[in-house]
Structure 1
Amino acid sequence: MITEWFDLPFTGPFDLAASARFIEGFTPSRSFVDEHGRLRLAFPAAPSWEPVGALVRQQGADGPVQVRLNAAEEDVPAAVGHVRRILSLDVDGVGFPALAERDPVVRRLQKALPGLRPVLFHSPYEAACWSIISQRVRMGQAAALKDQIARRVGSAVAVPAGATELSGIQLDTFPAPRRLLELARVPLLPEVKSSRLRATAEAALAGDLDATRLRAMPAEDALRFLAKLPGIGTFSAQLVLLRGAGHPDVFATAEPRLHKAITAAYGLREPDVRDLERVADRWRPYRTWVSVLFRAQAELARL
């Protein structure tokens, strides 16, 4: 079913164009920006895990954000929630600009990247699968593997067109949990990774990777819970919680590149993780969001 445009309510600053620029440097993303600056998404949506195509637009910077969906009627409410979470629109951002008043480093980041919020994996399930696929593999190679798996055993879904276009385009979604469990082995991957992906699929179907559930838990408990999944260590657990579930206020203790950027920005000398955590305490309740600004700034510096 192709829907009409749905409003995606949010509070605080947000610029879809900034998100689009960030997605271009987000290696595992299966999202695309068209010539009109609209964002195209394709993903299996929990709890049914049926494929969804979505077209997102914004009417000017800080203007209203809308989505048009290709989804079964019963999946529309969940799909709208997925899109809001993917773009971090489900987090109250009213207080985010105020961080600039007490931290000049954050002020410079916000000025350089106005309106940017974290752009997330389509689900904690997909974030966990990515973390397994990408282990001991270069990022570009891992992204190519993920794309090939989507083409071979995922689902193709049409992304709705704009109001003046006759048809949309088709994108491949990453295979839904039940699809992975139907396979004797996930193609292109060694047996150990295939087995771990199947365990991840089982966890998703059991509700253990539900974004709302993970974000409702104390962060330390959620990280310990995630780290019990096969193939999910400390770094991967943080990835799933921060960039999969979209927890807005966790400091990633296992991201060396982030730590290096903070050390340089604040002129620190050989800080340990506790020193960096104390710096990040200034960013509450948006520690994840500020960390993403550091990541995006680093990506722009490479262009």
Structure 2
Amino acid sequence: MNTLRLELPDSFDFSLSIERNVFGIGELQVVQTDAGPVVYRALWRQGEPVATKVCVERHQSTLLVETADALSLEEARDVESQIRHWLDLDSDYARIRDYFGADTTIRPVVDSLSGLHLQRDIHPFAALVRMMIGQQVNVAFATTLTNRLIHLAGRYVVWDGMTIPVFPMASEVAAVSVDELRRLQFSSRKAEYIVQLARMVDDGSIDLSADHLQTMDDDQVVEYLCKIRGVGQWSAQCCLLFALGRPDVFPALDIGLLDALARLYGVARPSAKEAARMVEKWSPYRSYAAHFLWCGRRMLGKG
């Protein structure tokens, strides 16, 4: 077993960030304790999952990460990098909140979510599959379908009495048939898109590695990803925002964000084009504006 200790920025509230988790659907096992949540999650080590247990030490300034297996120094650094990416620990949230503090309209939303970090998906492939699953279905059913995919094609690791699901790799989804997904209540088109994406990644037809995608600017990534059947502008932008950590992306086709903007400004729901113009003033932090609006919808009158 390895134990890593990560110094946390003052801006980070672990409990709030886990409560408002957007990604990691189906993969996070959360145990509530008097000291706060303890999160079990499988991360990757040289192509194999390793179970981790993540919590905050009592003084709240250190993130404690325990792994089920012993790690080399290089592996420990890789696990730390994945944790830092997942919880967005390296962004300057104090500066981001100061930036939005100058806008009296959105500032109350941002202030109400003080301590919330934008959780990110670790792998672009998983992010795109989630986007395909989430299209035109509600969150509850998207979660059900995601869990069914993990059960069908993924793996489980057991540690500390917990059974931890592992989101499948592209090679594992590529081995699944469209009919198998249809039997799990995936629509025919959605099943085809997911299997085809997995097979393209597995055979190298599409390169979703962060190293490759990070060589492109935002528009180039969107153009590249939209060549994949089933990936449109919304999916590509969400992949930029959540998987690649791009700070200035606003998925203006998202109905939830359009509703949030309408409530924020007390206007009719804007069109995507109108929304894109409305949020230009929040550049270079439009990704964070989107996250605050998503997570602040209850405050804005949207449950």
**The residue matched to 2:248 in structure 1 has which SS?**
coil
CA displacement at 1:95 relative to structure 2: 1.3
Matches of 1:62 and 1:78, distance apart in 2: 23
Matches of 1:176 and 1:27, distance apart in 2: 14
2:20 maps to 1:33: no
Which residue does the alignment assign to 1:220?
219
- The change in CA–CA distance for 1:272 and 1:153 in structure 2 (over 3 A counts) is closer
CA displacement at 1:134 relative to structure 2: 3.1
**The residue matched to 2:97 in structure 1 has which SS?**
coil
**The residue matched to 1:258 in structure 2 has which SS?**
helix
Which residue does the alignment assign to 1:82?
82
Contact 2:2 2:67 in 1 (8 A): yes
What are the equivalent positions in structure 2 for 1:7-156 lying under 5 Å apart? 7-9=5-7, 11=9, 13-23=11-21, 28-36=25-33, 37-43=36-42, 45=44, 48-59=46-57, 63-70=61-68, 73=71, 75-156=75-156
Contact 2:154 2:167 in 1 (8 A): yes
Contact 1:10 1:92 in 2 (8 A): no
Q: Which residue identity is paired with 1:16?
A: F
Residues 199-230 of structure 1, C-alpha deviation per residue, up to 9 Å, x if partnerless?
32245454722345434521111111111112
- Which runs of 4 or more aligned residues in structure 1 lie more than 6 Å from their structure 2 counterparts after TM superposition? none
Matches of 1:215 and 1:281, distance apart in 2: 23
Which residue does the alignment assign to 1:236?
235
Contact 2:258 2:271 in 1 (8 A): no
Match of 1:169 among 138, 158, 162: 162
Matches of 1:294 and 1:171, distance apart in 2: 30
CA displacement at 1:115 relative to structure 2: 0.9
- The change in CA–CA distance for 1:11 and 1:27 in structure 2 (over 3 A counts) is closer
Q: Which residue identity is paired with 2:233?
A: T
Q: TM-score, normalised by structure 1?
A: 0.82
Q: Which residue identity is paired with 1:31?
A: L
CA displacement at 1:271 relative to structure 2: 4.6
Contact 1:40 1:53 in 2 (8 A): no
Q: Which residue identity is paired with 2:44?
A: A
Contact 1:45 1:52 in 2 (8 A): yes
- The change in CA–CA distance for 1:284 and 1:135 in structure 2 (over 3 A counts) is closer
Over aligned residue pairs, what C-alpha RMSD do you find? 3.0
What are the equivalent positions in structure 2 for 1:236-275 lying under 5 Å apart? 236-268=235-267, 271-275=270-274
Percent same amino acid among aligned pairs?
Answer: 23
Contact 1:27 1:143 in 2 (8 A): no
- The change in CA–CA distance for 1:288 and 1:212 in structure 2 (over 3 A counts) is farther
Contact 2:125 2:208 in 1 (8 A): yes
Residues 65-106 of structure 1, C-alpha deviation per residue, up to 9 Å, x if partnerless?
232223573644333222221111233334112124311133
More relative contact order, 1 or 2 (CA 8 Å, 6+ apart): 1
Matches of 1:54 and 1:203, distance apart in 2: 30
Contact 1:52 1:79 in 2 (8 A): no
CA displacement at 1:169 relative to structure 2: 0.8
What is the total number of aligned residue pairs between the two structures? 292
- The change in CA–CA distance for 1:288 and 1:141 in structure 2 (over 3 A counts) is same
Alignment gaps of 5+ in structure 1: 160-166
CA displacement at 1:250 relative to structure 2: 0.8
Matches of 1:285 and 1:94, distance apart in 2: 15
Contact 2:250 2:276 in 1 (8 A): yes
**The residue matched to 2:16 in structure 1 has which SS?**
helix
Which residue does the alignment assign to 1:183?
176
Deviates more, 1:173-182 or 1:37-46: 37-46
CA displacement at 1:255 relative to structure 2: 1.1
Alignment gaps of 5+ in structure 2: none
Residues 4-53 of structure 1, C-alpha deviation per residue, up to 9 Å, x if partnerless?
1x233565611111112202x7793532331232342434638x442232
CA displacement at 1:292 relative to structure 2: 1.0
